[in-house]
Chains A and B, each alone.
Chain A
Amino acid sequence: MNDRETAVAGRPAPPAPSPGGEGGLRAERVGRLAGGRLVVDGVTLAPRPGETVGLLGPNGSGKSTLLRLLSGVLAPSAGVVVLDGRPLGRTARRTVARRVAVVEQHANTSTDLRVRDVVALGRIPHRRPWTPVSAADGAAVAAALEATGLTGMADRSWHTLSGGERQRAQIARALAQEPGELLLDEPTNHLDIQYQLDLMELVVGLPVTTVIAMHDLNLAAMYCDRLLVLRGGRAVAEGTPREVLTPALIGEVYGVRAEVAQGPGHPVIRFLRQAPARPGGAR
């Protein structure tokens, strides 16, 4: 039963960052072995409260694995992930779920659920067995629907939603968890550009610390406060979009040529056709 876990873990502490940066969710030199290979290798990530951190890197660079380490569904082979100074592996799953919410890349269900039901799933870590839905649960669901602009579709069936609406519903579910940290794995994949921009506006406007794995460098440049670039499981660059997104780094990490212009408040990346001298890209 979950009672014991909660009794041990107690009430989740507020995400108050102490001077040493002890609060919140941090990965310290985490590594993860899969099939004899290090898919994440010595990565440190310590988002500051309220900021949006973009995880960049080509396919297989370890973005998703790093997110799964941060959410605690994978245990690190090396290093440690801590939540408010306590290793995630020694924190009850329910306690973690009340602090850290995750939006996966694909969400699929064969169950017939309304949007309201999907969002209400976010209240599971807050509820106890044998108790009916509380007023706080109802209020959190209503607030999450409102924040994501889904109030009008609350009674629609999940199966009738478009891809963008499904992602919104998943984000609403995550908000209903009332998390301090939100982890998103390529949430704008396969969405029309309008939905991509809508979704990013929504995400960066949320009052939570966000770590978001992304493919699109321009979206990352527009919306993230800070970027962490992975290649082969290692962190190769970290900093503001302006510091990180340089033609040299893009060439090194993605093997493509690009020009970077300093746009209004954020860099703008323009990709170039392959130069004949470098077939197949760098390395």
Chain B
Amino acid sequence: MTGARLALLSCAGLAVLAVSVAVAVTIGPADITTSEVARSTLARLGYGESPLSVLREGIVWNLRMPRALLAAVCGAGLALCGAVMQSLLRNPLADPFVLGVSSGASTGAVVVIVLGWGAGAVSLSAGAFVGAVLSFGLVVLLSHTLGATMDRVVLSGVAAMQLFSALTSFIVLTSADAETTRGVLFWLLGSLAGAQWSDVVLCALVLAAVLAVCLAHTGTLDAFAFGEEAAAHLGVRVARARLLLLTATALLTAAMVSVAGAIGFVGLVLPHITRLLTGSGHARLLPVTALAGAVFLVWVDTAARTLLDPQEIPVGVVTSLIGVPAFIVVLYRVRRAS
């Protein structure tokens, strides 16, 4: 695939994403049309008048828009994390949720809330980052001592996920002011309800930084195809590259978990689907998988909040319903290939 085709694919992806967000914003109990959203957006940019009432303006700009954009940012981030982890760990089942990184981040965020350290999304993210790194470190250490085969890495991840999920539940359920903390379900399954503009900005900034780091290392990621020693032979400083890129994914996971909880399987599913379209070269794979993840999560979240209207399904339930069968398909294909 040439650079021109990548540019075309990226532009098409961005267009699909913009349309998806615009349409997702119109879906819900209050009837709002896409043209009203478009004119309201133009009004915000200083062109013309918004056709919406103040209440409806509020629904679009304070509820639905930040939520759709947060879904897009988290979907992109999770898919990016999954693609990078799958390549670095040479494990097609790697994903921030499967490897327990998201659960560790949840625990870290909950600890920060309960201890009352700092305030707002940044301190929450910092706690989530510490939890994510601890959990990731535990998984890498455990699987390394066990022999680091694909199955053992995943089993270590499952162990870490269970441990940190239990810790999160315990802390949330026993904390004195459970009213002010978000519920257990939020942290274990993830939810985009209650998305705020500050959350969107924080996650978008972290996503942009991590995406830039990853795109600067696409050659390095390609070099890992035949293992770490082969990567070293191609001029990669393996220990440094692994530390940098895994830390970057842990940071991105932490930022997303601190605002949306542990949404599972997006990072597992999307890179595999994207590879069918782009091939395995990371210069193509990473931007396209991020766009695909964004579009995917916008629609999954729209379904999660409208399917059982007026009740809302946690978005992580829907991604798991899609992700677990995909997990089995990947597992089956790996078995057959080996």
Q: Determine whether the beta carbon of A121 is less than 8 Å from that of B280.
A: no
Bound together, the chains give a CA A185 to CA B229 distance in angstroms of 13
Q: Smallest CB-CB separation from A159: which chain B residue?
A: B337
Q: A121-B223, A129-B216, A130-B216 are in contact. Are A104 and B235 (CB under 8 A)?
A: no
Contact of B234 among A1, A72, A125 (CB under 8 A): A125
Contact of B226 among A72, A73, A108, A114 (CB under 8 A): A108
Which chain B residues (67-114) contact chain A, with CB distance < 8 Å?
A: 87, 90-92
Contact flags (1/0) for B1-28 with A, using CB distance below 8 Å? Answer: 0010000000000000000000000000
B324: Cβ under 8 A from any A Cβ? no
Q: Determine whether the beta carbon of A108 is less than 8 Å from that of B219.
A: no
Q: Determine whether the beta carbon of A110 is less than 8 Å from that of B222.
A: no
Q: Determine whether the beta carbon of B216 is less than 8 Å from that of A113.
A: no
Residue among B217, B226, B281 with the most chain A CB within 10 A?
A: B226
Contact of A98 among B3, B92, B229, B235 (CB under 8 A): B235
B237: Cβ under 8 A from any A Cβ? yes
Q: Determine whether the beta carbon of A124 is less than 8 Å from that of B223.
A: yes
The smallest C-beta distance from A84 to any residue of chain B, in angstroms, reads 16
Query: Which A residues are in CB contact (< 8 Å) with B280?
Result: 111-113, 117
Q: Determine whether the beta carbon of A129 is less than 8 Å from that of B281.
A: no
Query: Which B residues are in CB contact (< 8 Å) with A96?
Result: 235
Contact flags (1/0) for B178-220 with A, using CB distance below 8 Å? Answer: 0000000000000000000000000000000000000111111
The smallest C-beta distance from B92 to any residue of chain A, in angstroms, reads 6
The smallest C-beta distance from B194 to any residue of chain A, in angstroms, reads 38
Query: Which B residues are in CB contact (< 8 Å) with A114?
Result: 279
Q: Smallest CB-CB separation from A73: which chain B residue?
A: B232
Bound together, the chains give a CA A46 to CA B275 distance in angstroms of 45
Bound together, the chains give a CA A71 to CA B90 distance in angstroms of 23
Q: Smallest CB-CB separation from B237: which chain A residue?
A: A93
Q: Determine whether the beta carbon of B235 is less than 8 Å from that of A93.
A: yes
Which chain A residues (93-140) contact chain B, with CB distance < 8 Å?
A: 93-98, 101-102, 104, 107-114, 117-118, 121-122, 124-125, 127, 129-130, 132
Residue among B216, B222, B235 with the most chain A CB within 10 A?
A: B235
Contact of B233 among A101, A127, A132, A159 (CB under 8 A): A101
Q: Determine whether the beta carbon of B225 is less than 8 Å from that of A113.
A: yes
Q: Smallest CB-CB separation from A3: which chain B residue?
A: B216
The smallest C-beta distance from B7 to any residue of chain A, in angstroms, reads 10
The smallest C-beta distance from B160 to any residue of chain A, in angstroms, reads 22
Q: Smallest CB-CB separation from B229: which chain A residue?
A: A73
Q: A112-B275, A124-B235 are in contact. Are A117 and B215 (CB under 8 A)?
A: no
B126: Cβ under 8 A from any A Cβ? no
Total interface residues in chain B, CB < 8 Å: 32
Q: Determine whether the beta carbon of A110 is less than 8 Å from that of B234.
A: no
Q: Determine whether the beta carbon of B235 is less than 8 Å from that of A117.
A: no
Which chain A residues (177-217) contact chain B, with CB distance < 8 Å?
A: 177
Query: Which B residues are in CB contact (< 8 Å) with A104?
Result: 226, 229-230, 233
A77: Cβ under 8 A from any B Cβ? no
**Is the contact region of chain B dominated by helix, strand, or loop, or is it mixed?**
helix
A2: Cβ under 8 A from any B Cβ? yes
Q: A110-B92, A124-B219, A130-B215 are in contact. Are A102 and B233 (CB under 8 A)?
A: yes
Q: Determine whether the beta carbon of B235 is less than 8 Å from that of A108.
A: no
Bound together, the chains give a CA A92 to CA B215 distance in angstroms of 22
Which chain B residues (236-255) contact chain A, with CB distance < 8 Å?
A: 236-237
Q: Determine whether the beta carbon of A121 is less than 8 Å from that of B232.
A: no
B227: Cβ under 8 A from any A Cβ? yes
Contact of B235 among A2, A109, A129 (CB under 8 A): A2
Bound together, the chains give a CA A112 to CA B236 distance in angstroms of 21
Contact flags (1/0) for A9-50 with B, using CB distance below 8 Å? Answer: 000000000000000000000000000000000000000000
The smallest C-beta distance from A239 to any residue of chain B, in angstroms, reads 29
Bound together, the chains give a CA A210 to CA B210 distance in angstroms of 41
The smallest C-beta distance from A59 to any residue of chain B, in angstroms, reads 19
B43: Cβ under 8 A from any A Cβ? no
The smallest C-beta distance from B152 to any residue of chain A, in angstroms, reads 15
B334: Cβ under 8 A from any A Cβ? yes
Q: Determine whether the beta carbon of A117 is less than 8 Å from that of B229.
A: no
The smallest C-beta distance from B330 to any residue of chain A, in angstroms, reads 10
Q: Determine whether the beta carbon of A97 is less than 8 Å from that of B225.
A: no
Q: Determine whether the beta carbon of A94 is less than 8 Å from that of B235.
A: yes
Bound together, the chains give a CA A127 to CA B90 distance in angstroms of 22
Query: Which B residues are in CB contact (< 8 Å) with A121?
Result: 222-223, 225-226, 234
Q: Determine whether the beta carbon of B3 is less than 8 Å from that of A132.
A: yes
Query: Which A residues are in CB contact (< 8 Å) with B216?
Result: 1, 129-130
Q: Determine whether the beta carbon of B92 is less than 8 Å from that of A97.
A: no
Query: Which B residues are in CB contact (< 8 Å) with A93?
Result: 232, 235-237
Query: Which B residues are in CB contact (< 8 Å) with A122?
Result: 234
Residue among A96, A108, A177 with the most chain B CB within 10 A?
A: A108
Bound together, the chains give a CA A111 to CA B86 distance in angstroms of 10
Q: Determine whether the beta carbon of A110 is less than 8 Å from that of B90.
A: yes
Q: Determine whether the beta carbon of B217 is less than 8 Å from that of A97.
A: no
Query: Which A residues are in CB contact (< 8 Å) with B215?
Result: 129-130
Can you list the 6 inter-chain pairs with the closest CB atoms, starting with the nearest?
Answer: A97-B235, A125-B235, A94-B235, A129-B216, A102-B233, A124-B219
Q: A117-B280, A129-B218 are in contact. List 7 more A-B contacts (CB 8 A).
A: A71-B232, A95-B235, A107-B230, A109-B225, A109-B227, A112-B280, A117-B279
Q: B residues near A, CB below 8 A? A: 3, 87, 90-92, 150, 215-220, 222-223, 225-227, 229-230, 232-237, 275, 279-281, 334, 337-338
Q: Could you list 17 A-B pairs, sorted by A, with CB under 8 Å?
A: A95-B235, A98-B235, A104-B230, A107-B230, A108-B226, A109-B226, A110-B90, A110-B334, A110-B337, A111-B87, A112-B275, A112-B279, A117-B279, A121-B223, A124-B219, A124-B220, A124-B234
